[in-house]
Amino acid sequence: MQHHSLKKSLLFVAIQFACLGLIVLSGPLLPANNALLIIQGLGMGLGIWAILSMRIGNFNIIPDPFDHTKLVTSGPYRLIRHPMYLALLVTTLPMVMSNFDSLRFGIWLVLLFDLLLKLNYEEKLLATQLAGYDQYAQNTYRLIPLLY
């Protein structure tokens, strides 16, 4: 991994964790509204399903793939390439909506923008390292089934 690549990867992760921390610290963890609580639970379930499908040894918090990374196409990865990013967004949005203010929503938008940049960067790295990734990318959605 190149030094410049690692710095960029760590910046994506630092922004991601800063946004998550600010969202968590600025409001309740669980929404009071039952509909928002169900959405949050679905996001958490998606995240757990994605981790179990990927297997712990294949999971990397930074976008740079391990040398031993294998292409995962089962579980939620059958439909979307970045279910863990979607899980973060779906889990945190109800937290923001439950205790809404423009600052918290702005932080969530920064998280969204960071994850979009991170997934595009990650896909370039995966395409160069994993055989079959380009074909997989043609047959799946990046983040949201039927949309993107």
Predicted local confidence at residue 127, as pLDDT? 94
SS3 for the chain is CCHHHHHHHHHHHHHHHHHHHHHHHCCCCCCCCHHHHHHHHHHHHHHHHHHHHHCHHHCCCCCCCCCCCCCCCCHHHHCECCHHHHHHHHHHHHHHHHCCCHHHHHHHHHHHHHHHHHHHHHHHHHHHHCCCHHHHHHCCECCCCCCC
Predicted local confidence at residue 67, as pLDDT? 82
Predicted local confidence at residue 4, as pLDDT? 54
Across the chain, which has 148 residues, the per-10-residue mean pLDDT values are 74 97 93 95 97 83 85 95 97 95 97 97 93 94 90
pTM of the model: 0.92
For the chain, what are the domain ranges? Answer: 3-138
CATH for 3-138, options being 1.20.120.1630, 1.10.630.10, 2.60.40.10, 2.40.50.140:
1.20.120.1630
Predicted local confidence at residue 57, as pLDDT? 72
